[in-house]
Chains A and B, each alone.
Chain A
């Protein structure tokens, strides 16, 4: 039995960061984590926290769609689905039953750069969580039936998210145009053709190469005793054999020399959409944080320059959004605008470029810098509220940057960004020759004609 009480300076201590920007001193949130490496190379991160009777585990594998080879796009994600189809001691589908029917929550997700599996459970189910993760890392059930079943589920996921949705193809076209290196040139979901081509042998080989303990990070956060938990982790995971390290991925991108542009005719779309991307830098670099601040000023919230100009002043779009994407390799700054019927896309495009030019010529305002930093701070610390998101963040920083401590230093890096930095990165990356433009136009469709994709 537990009460929700404010607990333990050991786990969450109140530190003080001096910020010139605020009248009051903001309280920082610090995550005290412990790192251990098992004999088989498995990295383990633990955070003991007794605030709630919950444990959260994240197992993050150093593999994503960037590791795929040509002809096998979508495979890393298809493989992720196989991880829920059983192992030596867990039946197919039993994972779902065991987690949900004991009051837990779970999922798995694949990106270009990593694949992470996670569960949150009441803290008396710690052994269950460790067993589930260790059993599939050790002994995945690789069968043709399981593969065919999940191939179908994943192809429906593709239809749901891409082929049956307006603008579904636009992202694929954009990624293909934006990147030269195959690693990021294709999407995580992959093509129907390549999903069809995946074999049981591919699954077995991928499992052996990438799902090895020395290629993973296990993060455990919550209501346990650290010493006891580490002993249990060792018992479950340490005998899983190490494998040779997977090949390193070449992430280099040649410099872009000219604007790239494509138009997509979309039978499912009803409004034109303008998609813009500028290739930039990997995450957790000085320029990345400066571009994040820039993106917030340009397109974060209703006060942003693009919202005020395009939605409110010119009334040319129904929405404009964007982000600076965080990647292990070169990420990109994206802008996306949904154009109102009757408005010329070229006019929207010209107005966006005008705002970008202003970022290059003039420093941003004080309040805009403050907005970017405060927004980043609120979003980041809110995300530390529950054990599961702390576990996922720590594991991600460990996999991406070999630095779980980034969870405690990241806001300092955002706070270090100056107005001069923002102006400098605007000039450095938001150049005409470095941009990729995709315009999606609604296309009338003759009734009964074959769909463009996916059947």
Chain B
């Protein structure tokens, strides 16, 4: 987090914190029933405001595509509103390509990509990209399916930015001195992260859900950081960063016709090569429910996170789960927020989230609550999870959720980056070519029975994982009502005799 963000956070308090965008692209005529009809606590619906019952039908822009002879796929979404551009090289190998004894290599490779090339030192890369007013970032997660390098800038500086960008993508040399600095910095940052209660909660939750799977890791193992060498990075880079293993996506004040000659110049002589297939490690079957309590001395809140394994991105249950999640905790109009905040005043916000990639993701519910309402908050979370399983949602509530998702397509038109990201998602996960065109119909087809079916399937109470981070002395007995409590310290280590 940079300080601009910190300052916004510090100095501006906001009514609700959350940001989400409908993940859809194209929209057909939706239901015409009104939105009135709310079966959540915390809201009183007077129904007097003038609501237009029609869903706006919007046409979405199509991306322009090309493939270079070396296999690089190029996707361009023109957007002429402002004279800028955003560009992303999505390499179709990420943390999942790491070997089991060297988790983190993909992440280190991305992290050090800009720290020196055959043509530029780390400092020259920084000075040149900054002088153009551009941005440059690269990232790979520990269990990600991709590594991405992104840049943005002013359209009049496109050629110069592209020159630096292609240099960083193609010619990194991972100087030994930079590698050593990176290692020391990363180890220090890992200490820093442990001061965040949200980090500690996520760490335990992922461990409980994923066991030995790489998705259990939130930070690279210290052993990986220590053994890291320039040679290993070079090998990872030359193995996976290949044009035939990448998608270049561009959005901005340009067209494919204008930009393609520049792309050919920057990437045309990038050599293709055979890339090893990444084996997706299977997610272990859930064994048992755990209640994991992290004792964080000094805490005045309990961070609660409850959930189960979810689905892969291309699972057909995606659509019913999208609606179930929306109803449960997909924003301030959803059940968790209305109940835990608007009715009970336990929290600043309670939400649910689901996601998945090429392996099963999770479906979680979470909130931060003051310590002395931990018991009440647990009760309400369990109530809402059971309610979604046991009782069918009302038709009105389901139709509202559909309107929220499909209606949001209009707003997505003002976020071309989101539109382009959706197109890239379709390609990464091999979704059908008409995936986004048919998205609204698929949402519209979901029934209350579908929602209940996925609630019962994915809110698996026998294997529910519950994580709490806070003052153990005040919360252990409360959590013990739900099962055996395992206590950990802020280092992530079990506390002996913690039960």
Contact = CB atoms under 8 A, between A and B. Distances in A.
Contacts of A111: 11-12
A101 B403 contact: yes
B301 interface: yes
A96 B12 contact: no
Contacts of A53: 56, 58, 410, 413
A227 interface: no
A150 B349 CA distance: 12
A128 to B, nearest CB: 6
B445 interface: no
A341 B345 contact: no
Contacts of A86: 44
B84 A378 contact: yes
Nearest to A49: B81
Given A53-B413, A102-B35, A27 B155 contact: yes
Contacts of B6: 321, 336
A381 interface: yes
A110 B12 contact: yes
B132 interface: yes
Contacts of A334: 3, 7
A388 to B, nearest CB: 8
A110 B13 contact: yes
B192 A271 contact: yes
Contacts of A89: 46, 48-49
A377 B35 contact: no
A157 B300 contact: no
* B133, B181, B409: residue with the most chain A Cβ atoms closer than 10 Å: B133
Given A89-B48, A341-B191, A375-B130, A386 B415 contact: yes
B185 interface: yes
A244 interface: no
Contact of B345 (A98, A152, A370, A452): A152
Interface in B43-57: 43-46, 48-52, 54-57
B127 interface: yes
Interface in B402-432: 403-411, 413-416
B191 A54 contact: no
A403 B307 CA distance: 50
A448 B154 contact: no
B214 interface: no
B338 A93 contact: yes
A271 B191 contact: yes
A388 B413 CA distance: 13
A264 to B, nearest CB: 13
Task: State which size class the interface on A falls in.
Answer: 35 or more
Contacts of B44: 86, 91-94
Contact of A81 (B15, B50, B81, B253): B15
Given A91-B46, A303-B130, A270 B195 contact: yes
A92 B411 contact: no
A241 interface: no
Contact of A312 (B48, B50, B54, B122): B122
A150 to B, nearest CB: 7
A322 B3 contact: yes
Interface string B1-37: 0111011011111111001011000000000000100
- Max chain A C-beta neighbours (<10 A), residue from B331, B347, B370, B403: B370
B3 A107 contact: no
A421 B386 CA distance: 64
B237 to A, nearest CB: 20
Interface in B337-381: 337-338, 341-348, 368-372
A386 to B, nearest CB: 4
A453 interface: yes
A417 B188 CA distance: 38
A31 B264 CA distance: 36
Contacts of B10: 161, 171, 187
A385 B252 CA distance: 11
B58 A374 contact: no
B297 interface: yes
Contacts of B341: 153
Nearest to B400: A101
A125 interface: yes
Contacts of B415: 385-386
Contact of A377 (B154, B296, B299, B337): B154
Contacts of A188: 11-13
Given A127-B50, A269-B195, A156 B342 contact: no
A120 B35 CA distance: 18
Nearest to A150: B345
B131 A374 contact: yes
A89 to B, nearest CB: 4
Contacts of B285: none
A387 B414 contact: yes
Nearest to A222: B414
B368 to A, nearest CB: 5
Interface in B118-165: 122-123, 126-127, 129-135, 152-157
Given A108-B14, A315-B185, A382-B84, A26 B192 contact: no
A103 B133 contact: no
A257 interface: no
A109 B11 CA distance: 10
B176 to A, nearest CB: 15
B342 A104 contact: no
Given A122-B407, A163-B300, A382 B156 contact: no
B48 A90 contact: yes
A1 interface: yes
Interface stretch (A2-10, A37-45, A196-204): A2-10
Contacts of B127: 303, 367, 371
A318 B192 contact: yes
Nearest to A87: B46
Nearest to A148: B345
B433 interface: no
B478 interface: no
B332 interface: yes
A207 to B, nearest CB: 16
Contact of A103 (B22, B184, B189, B346): B22
B473 interface: yes
B83 interface: yes
B192 A338 contact: yes
B191 A378 contact: no
A363 interface: no
A452 B297 CA distance: 11
A154 B188 CA distance: 33
A267 B59 contact: no
Contacts of B295: 447
A68 to B, nearest CB: 13
A447 B188 CA distance: 25
A-B residue pairs, 3 tightest by C-beta: A103-B407, A374-B133, A152-B345
17 contacts: A91-B46, A96-B331, A100-B331, A100-B404, A120-B411, A125-B51, A153-B345, A159-B301, A164-B300, A267-B298, A268-B296, A303-B127, A312-B181, A334-B7, A374-B133, A375-B133, A447-B473
Given A112-B11, A378-B134, 16 more contacts: A27-B83, A90-B48, A97-B43, A97-B333, A101-B400, A109-B14, A120-B411, A122-B407, A161-B13, A267-B298, A304-B130, A312-B181, A371-B130, A378-B133, A381-B84, A445-B298
